[in-house]
Amino acid sequence: MKLTGKEDLRVRRTLEAIRRSFEELMLEKDFEKITVTELAGRTMINKKTFYTYYPSLDDLLAEIQDELSEEFAERTKDYTFRDIDRLTREFFLFSEEKGPFYEKITCTDSIIRNRMIRNVTKANDRKYSDLKQYTVYEQNLIRTFANSATLSIYKQWIEDGKKVPVERIIELTTTMIDDGLKQIIRNR
């Protein structure tokens, strides 16, 4: 349940506690292993209270993903596909700001990550006018390359314990992706 700011203080506290407990549980175990009973126990609420606000754990996760996706899309709204270097930089800096929970849901190989990719891509479709000379299917391939490469590098960086400084990983990622995409955009 998205907060509007008009909710009773008790409702806001309950929702914040649910979210905080959920994020803690996600850092401890895989999403598929978390139960409403466990989350309610950790939050010190009844399961019925949880269901008052969310039909399922999937809905809670979807809400969080939507908020994160919207925040990133807003942060990068003025960039176009030609700004892939700036988009890559923002992705890594945004990820660093969001911390371990964001890392977990971004690096998880499942529908969890795919929802955020779809949200950001949908929000940023207008940015891809740089690719208008390509067919829709070719645009899909180019976007898939950029998204997959960036996420694969990010995931490996996280798995390696961030042994490479953030500025260096941004530089490496940008060089690899940007050089390839510039060739695609220039050659058409």
Residues 19 and 104 in one domain: no
Distance CA(122)–CA(116), nearest Å, equals 10
Residues 90 and 181 in one domain: yes
pLDDT in 10s for each residue of the chain, 188 residues: 665 556 678 888 999 999 999 999 999 998 889 999 999 999 999 999 999 999 999 899 989 988 998 899 899 888 887 788 898 999 999 999 999 999 988 887 655 556 666 656 665 565 556 677 888 888 888 888 888 888 889 999 999 999 999 999 999 998 888 777 666 655 55
Distance CA(177)–CA(169), nearest Å, equals 12
Residues 48 and 103 in one domain: no
Residues 125 and 161 in one domain: yes
Angle at 57 between CA 101 and CA 14, to 5 degrees: 80
Residues 95 and 166 in one domain: yes
How far is the CA of 36 from the CAs of 135, 179, 180, in angstroms?
45, 46, 45
Number of domains making up the chain: 2
Encode 27-55: b = buried (16+ Cβ within 10 Å), e = exposed. eeeebeebeeeebbebbebeeeebeeebe
Residues 17 and 71 in one domain: no
Of 16, 11, 127, which is closest to residue 73 (Cα–Cα)?
A: 127
Outline where the chain has alpha helix (H).
9-28, 36-43, 47-53, 57-75, 84-98, 100-107, 111-123, 136-159, 166-186
Domain range for 15: 9-54
